[in-house]
Structure 1
């Protein structure tokens, strides 16, 4: 990606990818993730890549023999707020200008502000971003901890119980709680029913691992810990604190800590895992401090670059 020589790959833009092309892009992403130690596309992009009706643009780079050497995904849902960009280059076709050609294709295809993620904060991505005028706008930390040692005790506030999520019955109440808990979050707080439904339909979804904190006297949802298990051929199974939120009215009572602990216990005792990860914004110092007190340590960073 840092090569000064222009690539000979052909870069093309499309508003739709055929199923075979989607499979090619997913295979390229897996190769790039294995090589870099961090997947190039987040869950949001992967879901949209598999959805033929998603508002997106696609840039592909191909060698003379037709091999897919690079792919860029542009989320065009809200171009005025910023087009989301993620791209990956085949590990065997790097340092020959493919990444730079894709990035320039993104600039040519976009008509508004750009927000590009560099997962793993790869040095070549940082260099390319600087060359093209992008600035670091946001850092998302991936934290990890083992589940093999002692776990924090689950101490729920008085009058609060835990139960599993009930798909269908809890959807509306959870969406309202999620919006309150993440009112200032640029992505999570804006989830719609469609965003929830697509995730409930994913193969990894397990209602037993979607824990709800409920006020006993009223049945009101006060918080939640949605866990996830990553299973990938050839890699160790890893749990995730997928989403954890607490209603602002319940802050300060220790519910967030209790929910975190309950999810860790579920991942270890219920799913037999020995490691867990989570993502947290660097700017959310309160959450970072909580997780570090619970034994999490920084694993890697993901940087969002902005232009315009």
Structure 2
């Protein structure tokens, strides 16, 4: 079994040795003990040795105070500290724990088994606390670097948390620390806002969350501008393809009858039959030819703006007769 590494911080050698004797008498664990008589010496040991627990003597004989406890916590919050005190009342116990100690022991009540239990429980608690601290850092990293916006708002739409992505999306709409849109009875919706002379489309989702002991709403914001534009472009492309296919089909269906009609009119002209009626038929056939040619042109267009122009051109094509090719 790997020994538990213990640092004893106390200014009284006799009291330090007494703690060492309690540890050496343990039947549960083996301990590797180092002691130091001032805080700087203790921090130096910590820089060179991994310690599982620190016993900090806050008694009159021990000579240390809560300021040293604060210094240990500020420099090495990952190491559990057990405070040794002369006497423990409720106020003292609360103060010691509030300053970061994992536990405390009254000097007059210490014995080997008690010291074993307190050290073991303190190590377990700090390990759990360290895991929570690590997960908290990971969560903060994820939140701060997430491309989606995250906002937590209360029932009055007051913002209690906002990540950088949401700030960038919503500024200056949130300059007064209020979410700009009502969330009641809405879970998912979209909003179009103006950003830097361009429109931005936001997909917004709100879900209840417990925050600061209250039920609030976690609002996620995603910039779907590019996605929406791509979907719209795909729809227009699909619609254009359908229109081009339809135009090609209509042009094809008209072409063969027009060829027959044109040939028939030429024969009738050569025979000299009803010249006025033939002229009218020729005019109508030329108008149909121009429409067919315009429909054929549609099959080559690529841009929606040009499509609108081409449709207008079809409407006017009857005034510009074209020869059938």
Question: Which of structures 1 and 2 has the larger relative contact order (alpha carbons within 8 angstroms, sep 6+)?
Answer: 1
TM-score clears 0.5: no
TM-score, length-scaled by structure 2:
0.23
TM-score, length-scaled by structure 1:
0.24
Bigger Rg, structure 1 or 2: 2
The answer to which structure has the higher strand fraction is: 1
